[in-house]
Structure 1
Amino acid sequence: MAAITGVVITLDEADNIEACLHSLARVCAELIVVDSGSRDDTVARAEALGARVIHQPYLGDGPQKRVGPAAATHRWVLSLDADERLTEGAVAAIEALDLETTATDAFALRRRNFVGSRWVRHCGWYPDYCLRLFDRERCNFSESRQHASIPASQPVRLDADLEHYSFANLAELFGKASGRFSNRAAKILYAKGKRANAASPALHGANAFMRKYVFQRGFLGGLDGMSVALSAAVNAYLKYAKLLELQRDAKVREATDFDKVW
């Protein structure tokens, strides 16, 4: 199998980085961590596991994720977030690939998204295919600073999963939706010239709930399905409520630092 460089971007990921790097080390010959100013011991823990740490102030999702591949020794790159892990099936699927001769430029894995230790299989959360293994000479992360993807020309989906421990509990699920997720989205929309009206928050919130709970079958997921749908609704409602507030309230607008979106 061709050598692979594993890359992770981090900020205060001391609780996650060791498990993530142990996971990557099963299939990667080189480990790179791109850290954007952690104040905990993320860097020390990464270096103790043999990772090369690159210190880079945060540039936004895509630009930040391009830093590691540019510094990689090997042509093939496996990029994980710090809260992601390879399953046994993913390790076996990657080890079985002939990366030296393949015409494929990127491989996607299904992602199992968790709340706590509970795998949420509905609400559009599974299968959540993500391109993670790619040939850096043929493709790379886009320059998008929010939710960057890899625009590969010949991607292949592997029959294997990642695990994504995205929320420690329901409090974190709702806290992120009502806090930094909606704050960031509102600032991005305002900076792009998007505008809301009085009906926008309720309409977008209701639409988000219906999409997750009904059309993406969140009703089959019990409490967690309902919670994911409600958190999506809260996020959508507050995104447009905060956008409307920025439009209408000069005091709020003047106190908002639009340079700290990321």
Structure 2
Amino acid sequence: MLSLLFVPLQGFYTKQTHKRAKLEMKHKVSAVLIVMNEAAILENTLRALQWCDEIVVVDSGSTDGTVALCEQYGCKVFYKAFEGFGEQKRFAVAQAEHEWILSIDADEVLSEGLQTEIQAALAQPHIAEAGFYLPRTLIFWGEKIRSEYKVPCLRLFHRQKGEVTPDKVHETIKVSGEIGSFKNPIWHDSYRSIHDYFHKFNKYTTLAAQEIFHKKKGKGKWLIVVRLPITFCQLFFLRGCFLNGFGGFMWSLFSAFYPVVKYIKVLELERKAAKEKPN
């Protein structure tokens, strides 16, 4: 029954059963994705990218039919063992043929309005911007989460003016030059169940902790202790998640746990390193 609560996107966009009319674009674009066992959610993402000049997918060893699904939608599929999200995406960009790069995650679906906006921008003879922000809205427990509503994410960029950072997790795109923005959203449908949420939670906090540990940027224990209630109150009250009801409460609570668990894992790594250090 729990999984039935995680089918939110059906109510937020119209399912596309055929290719939409494509605007004549003067600048070609490559959509790039990294995947690993995403067959259950990937089809909606690929449908919304059919107007792109190519779709480049980097797989890290899927066993659930993800690769076959990508090939069905005409994607160019490459394999690379997972070395962190940043490195996977940098590899994907390197395989792309075109100058403009649209970086999308497997759990994101471009709204029809956003597809039209991007095509219109790429139809201009000259594009002054080095990149564009795409507003991303998280769908969780059937709600558009207030704290994650139309958060600007830099996802469309000119490859000669920008690049993906090599961070293991929470990688970003950096560009040199002017950045434009669009109005219509990407629907971010990231979690199929609570179990799926904590599976990703554990993976991301571990990768983030490893990166923080290697950079020697850990936090003191008391800062970790006070972080949870402060983060919860910021999200639930100040950023309006209480308006999302129980779904907003869960998102605020889980999000408040994230930095706490991340820095506890850093402490664990520091304790392990201290024990292994020769006297």
Q: Is TM more than 0.5 here?
A: yes
Residue number in structure 1 paired with 2:253: 230
- Give the equivalent residue in structure 2 for 1:46: 70
Post-superposition offset of 1:250:
7.2
Amino acid of the structure 1 residue aligned with 2:242: F
Structure 1 residues 143 and 99: CA distance shift in structure 2, 3 A: farther
Q: In structure 2, do the counterparts of structure 1 residues 250 and 70 end up closer, same or farther at CA, with 3 Å as the change threshold?
A: closer
Shift in alpha-carbon separation, 1:197–1:41, aligned structure 2, 3 A: same
Map of 1:14 onto structure 2? 39
Counterpart-to-counterpart distance in 2, 1:250 and 1:56: 30
Query: Percent same amino acid at aligned positions?
Result: 32
Q: How big is each residue's C-alpha offset from its partner over 1:154-174, in whole Å with a ceiling of 9 and x where there is no partner?
A: 110111111110112344435
Confirm or deny: 8 A CA contact 1:181 1:235 kept in the other structure: no
Aligned counterpart for 2:203 among listed residues 172, 177, 180: 180
Say which SS state the counterpart of residue 24 (structure 1) adopts. Answer: coil
Task: Assess if the C-alpha contact under 8 Å between 2:141 and 2:247 holds in 1.
Answer: no
Measured on the aligned residues, the alpha-carbon RMSD in Å equals: 2.2
8 Å contact kept, 2:169–2:208: no
Displacement of 1:196 in angstroms is: 4.4
Asked if 2 retains the 8 angstrom alpha-carbon contact of 1:110 and 1:128, the reply is yes
Which deviates further from its counterpart, 187-196 or 55-64? 187-196
Where structure 1 has 5 or more consecutive residues not aligned to the other structure, the ranges are: 255-262
Question: Residue type matched to 1:187 in 2?
Answer: Q
Match for residue 107 of structure 1 among 118, 132, 136: 132
Q: Matched residues in 2 for 1:80 and 1:143: separation?
A: 16
- Change over 3 Å in CA distance of 1:87–1:214 after alignment to 2: same
The TM-score with structure 1 as length reference comes to 0.85
| Correspondence for 1:164 | 188
1:163-212: CA deviations, max 9, x gaps?
110112344435543x2233333333333324444424321212221221
Counterpart residue number, 1:88: 112
Partners of 2:88 and 2:268 lie apart in 1 by 30
Residues 201 and 239, structure 1, Cα contact 8 Å, conserved in 2? no
- Number of the residue aligned with 1:212: 235
Please give the residue correspondences for 1:19-168 in structure 2 after superposition, counting only pairs within 5 Å. Answer: 19-25=44-50, 27-97=51-121, 98-120=123-145, 122-123=146-147, 125-152=148-175, 153-168=177-192
Q: 1:77 to 1:185 in 2, by over 3 A?
A: closer
> How many residue pairs were aligned?
249
> Any unmatched runs of 5+ in structure 2?
1-24
How big is each residue's C-alpha offset from its partner over 1:1-23, in whole Å with a ceiling of 9 and x where there is no partner?
12221111111111122221111
